Amino acid sequence: MTHIEFPQDLWSETENWIWQEICSGRIADLNKREGRNEPLDTTNSKGWNEKRKVRSNFLKQILLRQAHCSAIPHEGVRIIGALFTEEINLDHGRLAYQLWLEHCRFEKAISLKGLQIDSWFSLEGSTVVDQNEKVISLDLNGAKITGIVGLGGCTFMNVNLIASSFGSQLSMNKATIFGDLIMNGIRITQSLLAKEANLNNVNFIGSTIGGQFNLNGTTISGDILINVIEVEQALLMGMGANFNNMKLIGSKVRGDLILNNARITGNLDIESSSFHENVYITASIFEKTTHLIFAHIARNLNLSGSKFANLDLSGTRIEGELSLGSDEKSRTQWNENAQLNLRNVFANTLQDRRDLDEKQNKSNAWWKKLHCKQEIWEESWPPKLQLDGFIYHRLGGFNENPEPIKCSHDNCDIDMQNRNIQWHINWLDRDLTYSPQPYEQLASVFRSSGNLIKANRILYENRKRARTEAWRKGEYSRWLGSSLLNWTIGYGLGARYFRALLWVIALTVTGAFILHFSGQPANGLDSGLAAKAVYSLDQILPIVEFEKYNNVKLTGGVAYYFYMQKLFGWVLGSFLIAGLAGLTQKR
């Protein structure tokens, strides 16, 4: 500790008064000394006269000189409303009692590097006037403070808290920092409270918070970088908060992440982070692309009521529910041409909400209502989706109950499971890049819920879209094979097998009439139309033989027709066998 000598006989009248108040265990409040009920505005020079002036050497003398610091009672040093015109330097000192310098005006910087305080430290409501962009207004680099640290309502240019350690909570509520707030490597045993603050750039890397990290109502006009931090409780960033660009990368939050009623004007990037509870990104506005990628969410991801430009959830795992609205929460909204990327996302349950567009429904002319009875809905999904690799086990509204789940409001629908199948087809079509996996995934969800009709319809739409893609890519042989499977057995899906029966009936009747009206010799055939129908059926069914038709001799076009009918029968039979064996369901 540097030797300090500032004899008491050199102290000013104000400094002597402050010392007497401290020694008496009282707060040295210069505002009350002047008869003021409210503190002076620390950002304005008006009223800050010489009677409030305290020299930095006086502060060093009473805090660090043994002759004086030993006389300080357990209440500590508590000064309110002082004017410091010189730089304050208490680097690497140690205080065994609390230090308050509240509602004070500092015309120069405060350097407290390596300072150890075994109690509370507070600069609440104070201002460092020097607004030079390079000035570190408050430097607590490497400081260790065991009690509560109060920086609420302060005004600074730049603040350095690198590698500092706080044994209780750090309060920065309503603080204003025009430059950089650097908190890399900080350790806070309890909570970090920065509610309703006005900040510029914030760096928060490799830090630990033992309680909650609260940014509710805060405005950050620059960039906030939160990398590789651990928060033991909730991370709160709502209640009217405004952020520009934000990155939250490689971090762990053991409570909820709540981004509610906030506005993000820049990009939000949350990457490779884990959340042990819920993530609520609700009732907020995102003006640019939002990334929540390769994250792990132990419970639910709720996007209700928010409005996104674009949202990328690639690679994120959600153990609970992915919610885009519910009975009690409004639907998610999107900008025009917005996209939601769900590539390789896992969610246990998928829940959304859609609302009747009452204005549009009422405005439709009566003849439109007769022509199209479908109601017009406002959806919670964007126009564009990326669904390849998206896995989910259940659709919202299905709770081991086959009955439709009704919304408590007449003008909304939350029952995804029991919607018209065309809605699900349209939902899949929002992904403009075709992949069979989204169709197979949705079909498996329907199948597991016992709805085989919807499952088969989705698989059928999958094959239809694959056929369209084959034509678009110029794969005409694949398109032809797929088309034949569709025309003959409907890809072997559900009741579409009966298309083969229709073909058999149609060809049998056609063949019978051709024989009847062709004037061919009737050798070996009975003269009746029924006998000719049996012959026609015999020709189309491979293997099966009703009678011996060795004496039947057909000529000309009729003979060629039955050659083709017999060939078609073999093709149809092979398709039926392939369908029954499940071969037509393979990609």
At 106-132, the pLDDT tens digits run: 999 999 999 999 999 999 999 999 888
Per-residue confidence at 364, pLDDT binned at 50, 70, 90?
A: low
List C-alpha distances in Å: 170 to 173, 175, 232, 481, 543: 9, 12, 15, 70, 86
Burial of 385: CB neighbours in 10 Å, binned 0-12, 13-18, 19+:
buried
b/e 170-209 (16+ beta carbons within 10 angstroms → b): bbbbbbbbbbbbbbbbbebbbbbbbbbbebbbbbbbbbeb
The token pair that represents 73 in the structure block: 């009672």
Average model confidence (pLDDT) across the chain: 86
Which pLDDT score is estimated for 510?
78
pLDDT in tens, 140-190: 999 999 999 999 999 999 999 999 999 999 999 999 999 999 999 999 999
Residue 526's pLDDT is what? 66
The DSSP bridge partners found for residue 412 are: 355
Q: In angstroms, rounded to a whole number, what is the distance separating the alpha carbons of residues 192 and 213?
A: 5
List the chain domain ranges.
496-580
> What is the Cα 298 distance to its own chain's centre?
13
Give the number of residues written for the chain: 587
pLDDT confidence band for 261 (50 / 70 / 90): very high
Q: Is the pLDDT of residue 306 over 60?
A: yes
Whether pLDDT at 564 is above 90:
no
- Identify the residue with better confidence: 122 or 541: 122
pLDDT attached to residue 581: 52
Among 311, 304, 264, which Cα is nearest to 281's?
304
Evaluate whether 112 touches 139 at the Cβ level (below 8 Å): yes
Here the tokens at position 69 are: 């610091």
Q: Hey, what CATH topology would domain 496-580 get?
A: Helix Hairpins (1.10.287)
Prediction pTM value = 0.82
Say whether 134 sits in a helix, a strand or coil: coil
Specify the higher pLDDT residue, 204 or 369. Answer: 204
With CA atoms as reference, report the closest residue to 364 among 374, 349, 354, 355: 374
254 and 232 Cβ atoms separated by less than 8 Å: yes
**Closest by CA position to 165, among listed 103, 233, 117, 197:** 117
Residue 528 vs residues 517, 532, 533, 537: alpha-carbon distances, Å:
12, 7, 9, 15
Strand partners, 486: none
C-alpha–C-alpha distance, residues 158 and 328, integer Å: 44
Strands (E), 481-575: none
d(CA 172, CA 199): 10
Looking at residues 396-415, what average pLDDT do you find?
A: 61
Q: Which two tokens stand for residue 289?
A: 């692309």
What is the per-residue pLDDT for 494?
Answer: 66
Which range (45-59, 208-222, 450-464, 485-499) has the least confidence? 485-499
Contact 218, 196 (CB under 8 A): yes
Separation of alpha carbons 335 and 322, rounded Å: 20
Per-residue pLDDT of 482-510, as tens digits, reads 766 666 666 666 666 566 667 777 777 77
Q: Are 212 and 235 in contact (CB under 8 A)?
A: yes
